[in-house]
Chains A and B, each alone.
Chain A
Amino acid sequence: MSQVQMHEPQPDFIIRSRASLEDEHLQEALEKAGSGFVHKRQAAIDRIGNFEQLRDQAQRVRARALKNLDLYLLHFEKKVTEAGGQVHWAETPEQMRELVIGLCQKQNAKTATKGKSMVGEEVDLNEALEAAGVAPQETDLGEYVLQLAHERPSHIVAPALHKTKAQVQRLFRDNHALGERALDEVADIVNEARAVIRDRFLQADVGITGANMLIAETGTAAIVTNEGNGDLTATLPRTHIVTTSIDKIVPTWEDASAILRVLGRSATGQDITTYTSFFTGARSDQDKDGPEQFHIVLLDNRRSELLGSEYEKMLHCIRCGACMNHCPVYQSVGGHTYNSVYPGPMGAVLTPLLRHEEQDNQLPNASTFCGRCESVCPVRIPLPGLMRKLRDREQRERKHAGMAQWAVKLFCKLSRHPAVYRRLNDFNLRLVAIARGRKPRFQSLPFLSGWTRHRDFPAPEKSSFQSQWQQRQKEKQP
């Protein structure tokens, strides 16, 4: 039997969410971004007649990739090697940091340009590079803004989604020698960043990017971008390092197409992003440009343990961000509230699985299970179902049931005896009737202060439905 204990969940998410709800800048930024993603995605889907079939296909491709992941990874590695590149394997974030730093130091690199990489964020690569004397230079506009602000991404596709234009202007004023240059329009801001970052592309020793997919057939890393920074990062320096994870594999180029067809549409409502680039190995004699060295660093970080588990489907994720764009909780509190590189519904599942810290237990609980995420996920990951499994896991791992859990259990026990349940309800209702006097609703209720702090609660009708029904049936009898 579980003991009854006052065991409050760590209040982190709740405290953070309060701060986020009160943060005017954040709320302004969320408001501006909010429905844009939703409408653009819908418009892109409406332009073609068979998006649901494209989703099915993408889901099949992801399942097929994981089914023989070991073979595909080894084949990928073989092909990368044949193309003059090298694959490195990291079990932990720490190993990945060491590997990347080692590769940079071998090149005597002082600077590294960076394209957006969520795996890089997952392992805190920037801090590690800096500490090792390699200056990381973010080149994605959103990531660049965040580097100036010393902040983390709050969205997996639009990292600086939480920043308003005014905040970015202030950051640029503080950090750039602007002189006469204007910053009024978004175009001015973009031009300013373009000018500052352009030189860095040309001078960097190493370029570090992520990858959206790894194509096993040929040992190819595929990268999807709009700005063009990823390509300049991958192409101009002498060394190109890809930081990515083992789950990004797809078997063939045709399989890559199946993913590309849902990725852009789900993420930004684009049929395809401006740039889709496929990098295979190092530059050969025939190539007109490209890096002399090509390294792929593969991160596991507990992913291999999820294979074959009840959470395997989470590895289908293609990082499109649609789930957070459609999540009313994410849209209310923003990404930082999740305290993880992976926010929103996908993060609420992935973070407790990859990090498995006590505080992460809150994340799968902070959902109404409205199901909107699952309904838009291009690879049909049952996100609420996985969150529910994580809630079960939390209870299993817990030594002491909290007050609320104990109440749920008691309620269930009583509910198994409908007669008891009905009498209990009637008893409650009598209490309520005494309490309410003639009021149609309550402004405060003990035990329900979470409710009545923000809303009224209607006074129940005189007795329960079941009692009234029984009464009516009796009266009907001749």
Chain B
Amino acid sequence: MIETPSNSSKPKPQVGLFVTCPVDLVRPSIGFATATLLERAGCDVHVPPQSCCGQVALNNGQPEQTRALAWNIVQQFDEYDYVVIPSGSCGGTIKTHYPELFDEHDQRLQAVEAFCEKVFELTTFLTQVLDYTPVQAALDLSAETVTYHDSCAGLRELNIKQQPRTLLKRCANLDITEMQDTDVCCGFGGTFCVKYSDVSNHMVTNKVNNIRRSGASMVLGGDLSCLLNIAGKLQRLEPDNPNRVQVRHIAEVLAGELSTPAIGEHSPALEKGE
């Protein structure tokens, strides 16, 4: 259906795909959608053995543990031209916080900094490094009302705001219907949502109410963790509503892969665009 652009006299970029723990465990389809997208954009995609970026340890008072994990990742991915991550949160952990973990006397610091230079969150990589425009849009969602949740780390550590909107226009002919407070936290916050579950619940309830008020039938985002939180709340609030808002990762829409049911849902939704 969509052909790969093959204007390549240049060697293809070799991309190491770092899928993140939640994608690996809960929703591998995001990983495959990401790989498909990168291949369509002219990259060779590699998936070396990988585990966690260390964010949980970093945010829970365990800098040594994080440092060890970080160094692991640097070594595992060092051979690629780029490292691409379908998450602003894990991307932010690596790009913003890895260099802080190694002090200036640590010989590894230089390698870590050089590594961070080639690490990119997916939508930033597609827009700013590749300037990816598909020959033909993967989907046409122009008739749909879709809103977008700007996840915190992506927004504030990596400045991801326009990138997803640009890509959704290019790949799905979609203009986002903005919700109120799109830049306010959904209340996930890693271990926060379990430790401070009532506060977290209050925050995700506000988020979900803003999503519903936007009139959207689908909410997209760039971080699976936030999306799990949002989907879980939407489904808890309206277990029997077949028309409740659907939740998906942006990579799924950009790749045109809506055959997998939306997060936490039974049956595929919104295939009209095909």
Contacts and interface: CB of A to CB of B under 8 A. Distances in A.
Tell whether any CB of A sits under 8 Å from a CB of B in the complex.
yes
Contact of A371 (B26, B31, B62, B156): B156
A383 B72 CA distance: 28
A372 interface: yes
B264 A412 contact: no
A372 B203 CA distance: 14
Contact of B25 (A21, A35, A464): A464
B65 interface: yes
Contact of A374 (B26, B35, B156): B156
Given A405-B60, A469-B31, A332 B25 contact: no
Contact of A17 (B50, B157, B190, B196): B196
B11 interface: no
B152 to A, nearest CB: 4
Interface residues of B, number: 73
B59 interface: yes
A418 interface: yes
A455 B232 contact: yes
Contacts of B72: 415-416, 418
Interface stretch (B131-139, B140-148, B179-187): B179-187
Contact of B28 (A21, A413, A464): A464
A141 B228 CA distance: 45
B203 A456 contact: no
Nearest to B224: A458
Interface string B204-241: 10100000000000000000000011011101100000
Given A369-B59, A412-B68, A441 B201 contact: no
Nearest to A447: B194
Contacts of B191: 404
A409 interface: yes
Contacts of B183: 372
Interface stretch (A126-134, A169-177, A262-270, A422-430): A422-430
A369 B189 contact: yes
Interface string B41-67: 000000101111010111111110110
B56 A465 contact: no
Given A328-B185, A333-B199, A429-B25, A451 B51 contact: no
Given A328-B184, A368-B152, A372-B156, A415 B52 contact: yes
B24 interface: yes
Interface stretch (A76-84, A224-232, A386-394): A386-394
Given A405-B62, A429-B25, A450 B194 contact: yes
Contacts of B184: 328, 370, 372
A409 B194 contact: no
Contacts of A35: 181
Main SS of chain B's interface residues? Answer: helix
Nearest to B205: A454
B268 to A, nearest CB: 12
Given A332-B202, A372-B184, A451-B193, A457 B25 contact: no
A456 B235 contact: yes
A365 interface: yes
Given A440-B265, A457-B228, A466-B50, A416 B197 contact: no
A18 B197 CA distance: 10
Nearest to A27: B202
A389 B50 CA distance: 27
Contacts of A411: 52, 56-57
A418 B49 contact: yes
A408 interface: yes
A413 B69 CA distance: 8
Contacts of A369: 59, 152-153, 189-190
B153 A465 contact: no
Given A370-B185, A412-B54, A451-B193, A456 B232 contact: yes
B52 A366 contact: no
B115 interface: no
Given A329-B199, A455-B232, A465-B19, A408 B65 contact: yes
Q: Which of A35, A440, A455, A460 has the most CB of B within 10 A?
A: A455
Contact of B49 (A409, A412, A419): A419
Interface string B239-274: 000000000000000000000110111100000000
A328 B28 contact: no
A451 B193 CA distance: 7
Contact of B202 (A21, A392, A450, A459): A21
Contact of A14 (B189, B196, B233): B196
A367 interface: yes
Contacts of A468: 28, 32
Contacts of B264: 440-441, 456-459
A160 B232 CA distance: 36
Nearest to A418: B49
Interface of A: 13-14, 17-18, 21, 35, 328-329, 332-333, 365-372, 374-375, 385, 388, 391-396, 404-405, 408-409, 411-419, 421-422, 425, 428-429, 440-441, 443, 448, 450-451, 453-461, 463-466, 468-469
Pairs of residues from A and B, 6 with the lowest C-beta to C-beta distance, nearest first: A368-B189, A455-B232, A395-B61, A450-B194, A465-B28, A370-B185
13 contacts: A14-B196, A365-B195, A370-B189, A391-B60, A408-B65, A412-B56, A415-B69, A415-B72, A440-B265, A440-B266, A441-B232, A455-B233, A464-B28
Interface of B: 19, 23-29, 31-32, 35, 47, 49-52, 54, 56-63, 65-66, 68-69, 72, 76, 100, 152-153, 155-157, 181, 183-185, 187-204, 206, 228-229, 231-233, 235-236, 260-261, 263-266
